[in-house]
Every structure is written in C-alpha cells, then in structure tokens.
Structure 1
Amino acid sequence: MSRAPGRVRVLLHLRAAEADVPSVEQAYHRISKDLAGTPGLLGNELLREVTDPGAFAVLSEWESLAAFQVWESGSAHRGTTSPLRQYQDGERPRPFALFEVAAEY
C-alpha cells in the first residue's frame, strides 16, 4: 500500500534540560494551535525519546514539498515557531530533516 505521491514529513529534533521539559510541551501546544488550518499541513506530533527524556522531535506531515516550502518561506513561519527555536538540537548537523514517503504497508 502506498501513500498519495508527494507527501512530505518534517522531523525537527529538540533537546531540553529536565527543568525545561514542560516549556517544550507548552510551546508545542501553542504552536500547534497557531498552525491549525495552515494550507497543506496534515498534522503534527510531539515525540519524546523513551531512553532520553530531554530529547524530543516534532513530526509534521505536509501534503507536498511545495506546500511546506510556501509555509516555510512565509512571513509568519519564524514568528509562529520561535518558542521552540531555543530547544533545537545543536548537536546535530541540521536540527531538521525532510522526508518523502517512499513506501508504506
């Protein structure tokens, strides 16, 4: 079974000190509410690493790479996502990655 062609998932890696975990969660909820209704955004999830409680990822799904790029290049993008920017995982070469679904069962 395959997905509709063109869907893209964005994975944003975050890292927080134990004391900042509630702030990460609150920022995620605030940003998600602000992004509700964004054209092309199909949904997102906040993931917490099981073996490392300070490691998080936000996984968002977009209907296409073009839809994501339109949103990312828009003026509201940086302001809307700024509450999580301080938690981007600086130990990685890039804090985010884009994935296209190649196959699925």
Structure 2
Amino acid sequence: MERRARVVFLIRIAPGGEEDFLAAYERIRHQVAGGVPGHLGDQVCRSTTDPGQWMITSEWRDLRCFEEWEASAAHRELVAPMRACMTDARSLRFAVVAETAAESAA
C-alpha cells in the first residue's frame, strides 16, 4: 500500500537573499500546485529563532510522485532561482502512517 508522503527541506538562506527566495517561490508555487502529478500542497516556513533557517514542507500522494518530480529536468529548471538563494539544503522524506485533524465546526 502506497502512503502519502511528507518531504521536508531544511535550508539556509544567504543573508539578504530572503526577498529573492520568496519572490522565486511565489513565481513557481502555482505551477507546482496545478501541474505536478501527486503534489498535494506545500508550506514555506521561517525559523522564529534563527532568521537564516527556513523549511519547506510538501505533501505528496506517495513518495514515488515526489521522486519522479525531483529527478526531472523541469524540476531542476523551475527551482533553480530558489536554490540560488540557498547556502545549505537538506532533504528528509517521510511516509505518513497516522494523522489527526481538527474536527470541522458543525
């Protein structure tokens, strides 16, 4: 059984590169959300204690979808402007094995 996947990128943005990084993310986010098979959503987060530390999390239908996207030339081309702002990046991959969501107000 294939499980949904969560991918976490822990990244460091070069000092002064924050605006360029966010602008690059803004330019590509709708293309990824609407055009990459298996992509369910993502978030960009900034550390509250270390302004140079950022995190991108994304959720995928399954890990295979993410790995196919990450290996593609289209991916490398699309994310190049974001990567240009990074001084360090690390990728972590997880399979979702359990989940709890808030109950919607009725």
> TM class by shorter-chain length?
0.7 to 0.9
**What are the ranges of 5 or more consecutive residues in structure 2 without an aligned counterpart?**
101-106
Identity of aligned residues (%): 37
Once residues 98 and 3 of structure 2 are traced to their aligned partners in structure 1, the CA distance between those partners, rounded to angstroms, is 12
Q: Is the 8 A contact 2:17 2:85 kept in 1?
A: no
Q: Which amino acid aligns with 2:94?
A: F
Give the count of matched residue pairs.
99
- The residue aligned with 1:99 is 94
**What are the ranges of 5 or more consecutive residues in structure 1 without an aligned counterpart?**
none
TM-score when scaled to structure 1? Answer: 0.81
- 1:1-105 matched pairs, under 5 angstroms: 6-37=3-34, 38-88=36-86, 90=88, 95-105=90-100
- Aligned to 1:39, the other structure's residue is in SS state coil
Once residues 85 and 57 of structure 2 are traced to their aligned partners in structure 1, the CA distance between those partners, rounded to angstroms, is 15
Question: Deviation above 2 Å: which 4+ runs of structure 1?
Answer: 86-90, 102-105
- Aligned to 1:36, the other structure's residue is in SS state helix
What is the CA RMSD across the aligned residues, in angstroms? 2.0
